[in-house]
Structure 1
């Protein structure tokens, strides 16, 4: 994977078309331009990350409830691979279950975010994520 520092790349791993649309809209309403890449299941996410021709995402937004390979398995695979382990992974889930939160951090998620109920709250969450990850954080180079 290669990182193009001009416009940030975000990999959204989400199978719900409504949540994909909401996430895209929220990113469009912020001051940052991003290239959004979508993987609709866990296997597609890992394939994207391992494809040498794919751009290196600045971070991954990962849902937990995914077909074919769930989010916790994807997280474990990313953080267990020396070539991907430094990639920031933010779990973005509707689950507020204590065990999901604990399991995500045990598997080295960089953050656990609960999906907001309203469109406005979702835009605010995306603005906070973008401001932190694009303005404040220094990201490691891609492997």
Structure 2
């Protein structure tokens, strides 16, 4: 498959962003990532008319200032940003956080695992799912079949 996937990773932890860059580099042939170190930076990035919109946003929730919930709400209220799938990747397994994220129209919610090998498996599953989803959306809009 030659279909590429562009991802914006938003997290206030520089260590987590470094880990994300390392993990996603394994898929550099078909995945490109950009990172933002907080909610305000992410919204500015997404609203920059000089940048292409990502195919997906991976969003941490617990960030100072503009939280992941704030980013999610603003994205889903903006007609230009609303169609971008948002996957919440958080350390919080709180049912209240999960329910709130879905109430704000998150497309998926994943709890960050502490185990590096398990995290790699989470990322791989996520990438393959969304890559396939993107291909299906493009085929559907062009009338092609993906079966």
User: What range is the shorter-chain TM-score in?
Assistant: 0.7 to 0.9
| Alignment partner, residue 112 of structure 1 | 109
Other-structure match for 2:144: none
TM-score, length of structure 2 as denominator length = 0.85
TM-score, normalization by structure 1: 0.88
Distance in 2 separating the partners of 1:30 and 1:10: 12
Q: Hey, what does 1:52 align to over in structure 2?
A: 49
Match of 2:9 in 1: 12
- 1:1-143 → structure 2 map (5 Å cutoff): 7-30=4-27, 32-137=29-134, 138-139=136-137
Q: Distance in 1 between matches of 2:50 and 2:5?
A: 16
Aligned 8 A contact 1:14 1:62 in 2: yes
**Number of residues of Structure 1 aligned to a counterpart in Structure 2:** 137
> Residues 22 and 119 of structure 1 are in contact (CA less than 8 Å); yes or no, is this contact kept in structure 2?
no
Deviation of residue 125 (structure 1)?
Answer: 0.6
More relative contact order in 1 or in 2 (CA 8 Å, sep 6+)? 1
Retained in 1: the 8 A contact 2:3–2:131?
no
Contact 2:4–2:131 under 8 Å retained in 1? no
Unaligned runs of 5+ in 1: none
CA contact (8 A) 2:5 2:31 kept: yes
Larger radius of gyration: 2
Give 1:32 shift.
Answer: 4.9
User: What's the C-alpha RMSD, in Å, of the aligned pairs?
Assistant: 1.9
